[in-house]
Amino acid sequence: MRRIFCLIMLISLIFVGGCWDMREINEIGLVMAVGIDKSPTNSENFLVTVQLANPQEGGSSGDGKKSQSSVWIASAEGKTIFEAIRKLARFSSNRIMWAHNNVIIIGESLAQDDITSVMDFFTHNYELRMKTWVAVGKGNASEFLAASAGMGAVPGQSLGDVFRYQKFTGLNIPSNMLKVYGDFNSEHNNTVLYALTFNEALTQPGLKNKGENTNEQIEVSGMAVFNKNRMQGYLSADESRGLVWVLGQNSNIVVSVPEPENSSKFAAIEVTGIKAEISSVLINDIPEFTVKITGTGNISEEDGFSDLSIDQFKSELEASIEQQIVSEIELSLNKVQKEYQSDVLSLGKVVHAEHKNEWNERIKYQWEDLYSEVEVKVEAKIDIESSALNQIPLRDYKETNINDDQDPN
């Protein structure tokens, strides 16, 4: 029996091929970020810029400073994105691998023209993850590949982390390839992407980040609004937050509102458990919508004093918060609905779901013309249940320090 077992084991070794396609880590160029632009020399071509982690990073010169950059950056041009990427092999000494790519940055001119090729290539590439972040750079995408981002040594990786933590700002809607591609192929949805710009680094004065002459680094600055395959324009951070209340899926958002008795002082309220509901009615086959936001508030900070009771104090703060939420959503709606005519709130989907027959028979054929004119009413209901600090407002207690035996005159 033992001889038979040994014979079987020896025969099986013949069919063991080993790791025939194994690649050593120093033979691989790991893409951390990629930028796609229209070619500056031929608008019909694409310019692809890649940021690769430098395997030699960490070397030091005699004075103790790093002698190698943490990343290696190269660009190539082609009639298609794939052709441009293959041309990168003319410069790279390593095999380029896409599995670790964190960010896809689309240049402004390409975003305004057509992003169909970007969506098609990066969803066909089997090495890419669908949770890769997608953003529009205000300017050329190639400029952002050469700039600093966050605090990490590899900008592409740090920028991915910056995107991941945007949910804490309450100012942006996450835009990864999975969501963007779903919106891109939807009958009803239009998409929004992170918008990037450069800003002064808020770290050390004189810190050299972008190139050698400035201390600029990448900043997330609002959102880029699309109608189907073309960017229509940008939303500022304030304009973006109106969409976040409805679409952001944020667990909490911090709102600062004036104190009830002193408008120059502010109270910070953390709104949690945020829910958004959109409903519609048809008036003579014209849809009208109601957007309702609900949530729970917690007082996290008070800058001033108040003589109000806790119930009155909370009631007045609730009214201020609700008014601010309504104003922010209306500000965003005015931009995306009236100016950009982009249905990013998927109002058409709401009509389709709630009035299917009317949608299929008449409304969907007129929706592009109707959308910019339909009425959207916004409501908000926020309940402040408790305070994270004190259960009563701060009081301005003034002590006279007068001795009972002393004549106050």
Identity of residue 49: T
When mean pLDDT is compared across 160-169, 333-342, 388-397, the lowest value belongs to 388-397
**What pLDDT shows up at residue 303?**
83
CA pair distance 82, 280, nearest whole angstrom? 44
Confidence bin at 25 (pLDDT 50/70/90): low
For residues 269 and 299, is the Cβ–Cβ distance under 8 A? yes
pTM greater than 0.85 (yes/no): no
Same domain, 42 and 120: yes
Identity of residue 209: N
Domain residues for 355? 237-395
Angle separating helix axes 310-333 and 237-247, nearest 10 degrees? 100
H or E stretch covering 74: strand 71-78
For residues 243 and 332, is the Cβ–Cβ distance under 8 A? yes
The answer to whether residue 109 scores a pLDDT higher than 50 is yes
> Mind listing the pLDDT tens digit for each residue in 227-246?
999 999 999 988 999 999 99
**What pLDDT shows up at residue 23?**
53
Same domain, 229 and 244: no
Contacts of 190 (CB under 8 A, 6+ apart): 183, 225, 226, 227, 228, 342, 343, 344
Give CA separation, 308 vs 257, 317, 393, in Å. 16, 11, 7
> Mind listing the pLDDT tens digit for each residue in 154-202?
888 889 888 988 888 888 899 999 999 999 988 888 999 999 998 865 5
CA pair distance 33, 150, nearest whole angstrom? 14
Of 211, 197, 220, 241, nearest to 108 by C-alpha is 197
The overall average pLDDT reported for the chain is: 83
Total residue count of the chain as it appears in this document: 409
In a domain, 100, yes or no: yes
Count of domains for the chain: 2
For residues 147 and 264, is the Cβ–Cβ distance under 8 A? no
Same domain, 257 and 322: yes
The answer to whether residue 144 scores a pLDDT higher than 70 is yes
The answer to whether residue 66 scores a pLDDT higher than 50 is no
In a domain, 159, yes or no: yes
* Stretch 143-164: mean pLDDT: 85
* Stretch 382-403: mean pLDDT: 61
Listed residues 180, 215, 235: the one ending a domain? 235
Listed residues 194, 216, 235: the one ending a domain? 235
**What pLDDT shows up at residue 26?**
59
Of 285, 262, 271, nearest to 318 by C-alpha is 271
Of 77, 120, 382, nearest to 254 by C-alpha is 382
Listed residues 188, 206, 235: the one ending a domain? 235
Check which CATH number belongs to the domain holding 246 and give it. 3.30.300.210
Of 125, 72, 69, 81, nearest to 107 by C-alpha is 81
CA pair distance 220, 311, nearest whole angstrom? 39
**What pLDDT shows up at residue 375?**
96
